[in-house]
Amino acid sequence: MDSHSLTTRGAVMAVSGKRVAFLLTKGVEQVELTSPREALEGAGATTVIVSPSEGTLQAMQGDWDHGDVFDVDVPLGEAGAGDYDLLVLPGGTLNADALRQDDRAVELVKDFFAAGIPVAAICHAPWILADAGLAEGRTLTSYASLETDLRNAGADWRDEEVVIDGNLITSRNPGDLDAFNAAIVQALQDTEA
């Protein structure tokens, strides 16, 4: 058996039985949902879409082109941080802007931080951290256009493909997905069983 098989098997064993919430709504950047989901499920985790959208939601490819439609697994009002081992916040301008204005979404993100559960945000998703009062004193990254907003919210913003600050993992854009995916799988492996 080669070392890749051992590593993969170890990852599957380490995250088997772990549950991951993806918090998103209409306008989510499709690849920022599908790529991390595939990485986590490939490692043995169970993923669920939590959303204020009812029934289904429309993903986007960039800001203008419609992507696929996805089923909502858990309504936002029924989701609790204690039910999950990791929270992933995919980007997409429309998605991120809508979620940061949704009090229930902001409260759920705060609950994950309060519980010390890992939170991973990519692209425009870190916007919600500013609205939740969670960016202050944190080192993070995001889509470049959010730099000023996040610095104004007290964050130490970095232009790096992945930034890990305690239980917070952030990346800039879809070009960083390989590093982002590796970091979130590792964070899930590091959580206690």
pLDDT at 138 over 80: yes
How confident is the model over 41-68, as a mean pLDDT? 96
- DSSP helix/strand/coil, 150: helix
**CATH number for the domain including 41?**
3.40.50.880
The number of distinct structural domains making up the chain is 1
pLDDT of residue 11: 56
Residue in this structure with the two tokens 């992507």, named with its chain if needed: 67
- Which pair of structure tokens corresponds to residue 151? 């610095």
pLDDT of residue 7: 42
pLDDT by residue (tens digit) across 162-177?
999 999 999 999 999 9
- DSSP helix/strand/coil, 164: strand
pLDDT by residue (tens digit) across 62-81?
989 999 999 999 999 999 99
Instruction: Return d(Cα 58, Cα 70) in angstroms, integer.
Output: 7
pLDDT of residue 192: 72
Q: Where are the beta strands (DSSP E) in 62-136?
A: 65-71, 74-75, 86-89, 119-122
Nearest to 190 by CA among 11, 41, 42: 11
% of the chain surpassing 90 pLDDT: 90
pLDDT of residue 158: 98
Helices 30-42 and 177-190 pack at an angle, to 10 degrees, of 40
Domain that residue 109 falls in: 3-190
* β-pair type (168-171, 163-165): antiparallel
- Which pair of structure tokens corresponds to residue 47? 């993923």
Residues known to be catalytic? 123-124
Q: What is the mean pLDDT of the chain?
A: 93
- Which pair of structure tokens corresponds to residue 92? 């997409």
- The dihedral through the CA atoms of 82, 84, 86, 92 has a sign that is negative
- The dihedral through the CA atoms of 109, 112, 115, 119 has a sign that is negative
% of the chain surpassing 70 pLDDT: 93
In the chain, the amino acid numbered 66 is H
pLDDT of residue 1: 36
14 pLDDT band (50/70/90 cuts)? confident
13 pLDDT band (50/70/90 cuts)? low
Instruction: Return d(Cα 20, Cα 148) in angstroms, integer.
Output: 30
How confident is the model over 144-160, as a mean pLDDT? 98
pTM, 2 dp:
0.93
Q: With residue 56 as reference, give the H or E element that holds it.
A: strand 56-61
